[in-house]
Amino acid sequence: MKNKGKQNGKSQFSGILIVLIAASLFSTLGVLANIAHQQGVSLVAFGAWREKHILT
């Protein structure tokens, strides 16, 4: 086994893809919070709604 302890290309690509998707979703939170605030939703209510839907 030459590559013992090293990741193969497919699993490394999967890891990079997961990180990029997570970063892009995280970056949309500020935009969504701003839109919700403009529509009259308090930031606390937005945070509670988001937390409720993540946990269920």
The pLDDT tens digits for 1-56 are 455 556 577 788 999 999 999 999 899 988 888 898 899 988 888 778 766 666 65
For 17, residues 6+ apart whose C-beta sits below 8 A from its C-beta are: none
pLDDT at 5: 54
Q: How is 17-54 classified by DSSP, letter by letter? A: HHHHHHHHHHHHHHHHHHHHHHTT--HHHHHHHHHHHH
pLDDT of amino acid 1: 47
CB count within 10 Å of CB 36 equals: 17
Q: What are phi and psi of 2, to 5 degrees?
A: -70, -40
